Amino acid sequence: MQLTDFNTLVFDCYGTLMDWESGMVKALEPLTHRLANPPSRNTILETHARYEARQQAQTPAKLYPEILAIVYKRLAEEWGLSVPWSECVAYGQSIKAWPAFPDSANALHYLKQHYKLVILSNIDNESFAASNAQLGVTFDAIYTAQDIGSYKPHDANFEYMITMLASLGIARSDILHTAESLFHDHQPANRHDLKSCWIHRRYDQEGFGATMHPGEMPGYDFRFNSLAEMVAAHQQALA
């Protein structure tokens, strides 16, 4: 199997294209700077992941900024801090300032020459528009949690994406699902018989950061530590 066997890349965005962990840690400083002994970066991210996954499952119709506002409130409570709701809401709005990974824009512009590019993301449309402006590429389709009414790893998100792409003439076998999160993306990709590419952004860090531990490790068909590595592998396959 080679990267050139597919005509469509379905990307997760946050954690794969956007450096959401750095964005989160920066936006959580109003909380962590109040603590006498702030937790480590990984502990912050893992605690965030626990509250986020629970809230997404509990209230799937809420927009992602609303989910994040509640997560901020739960983190404050766990750390023994009292915060005004306006501060929680401000954290939810911080998505628009989260940075892209340095290689994302250039890699997407290259890949756009060879594939249809699709987003399947646990995000709302307004927040994604701000991220897309940083990425600077036109996606062929964008499927958000706001569109679908649930959050990955729920099967409904993948069923929606597969059905919508089929209406565009894109078969399941044409799709390479490309993502960092084993929990949100690769496990459900396995369940839906999708080939997948793991962009292992956290290759030099311990744990799973802002995503939940997947439990049993899912399978994947390609693995790269960055999108730049994926581009180099595609160029080699063409050669």
pLDDT at 158: 98
CATH says 21-97 is which class?
mainly alpha
* Cβ partners under 8 Å of residue 101, min gap 6: 17, 18, 19, 201, 226, 227
pLDDT at 67 over 90: yes
Of 12, 19, 124, 185, the active-site residue reads 12
Confidence of residue 89 (pLDDT cuts 50, 70, 90): very high
- Tens-digit pLDDT profile for residues 106-125: 999 999 999 999 999 999 99
pLDDT at 187 over 90: yes
CATH number belonging to domain 3-19+99-238: 3.40.50.1000
pLDDT at 212: 86
12 as an active site residue: the answer is yes
For the chain, residues classed under CATH 1.10.150.750 are 21-97
Task: Round to whole Å and give the CA distance between 62 and 1.
Answer: 39
For the chain, residues classed under CATH 3.40.50.1000 are 3-19+99-238
What one-character-per-residue DSSP string does 165-221 give?
HHHTT--GGGEEEEES-IIIIIHHHHHTT-EEEEE-TTTTSSS-TTS---SSPPP-S
The percentage of residues in the chain with a pLDDT greater than 70, rounded to a whole number, is 100
- The mean per-residue pLDDT over the stretch 30-50 comes to 95
C-beta atoms surrounding 20 within 10 Å: 26
pLDDT at 236: 94
- The mean per-residue pLDDT over the stretch 82-91 comes to 97
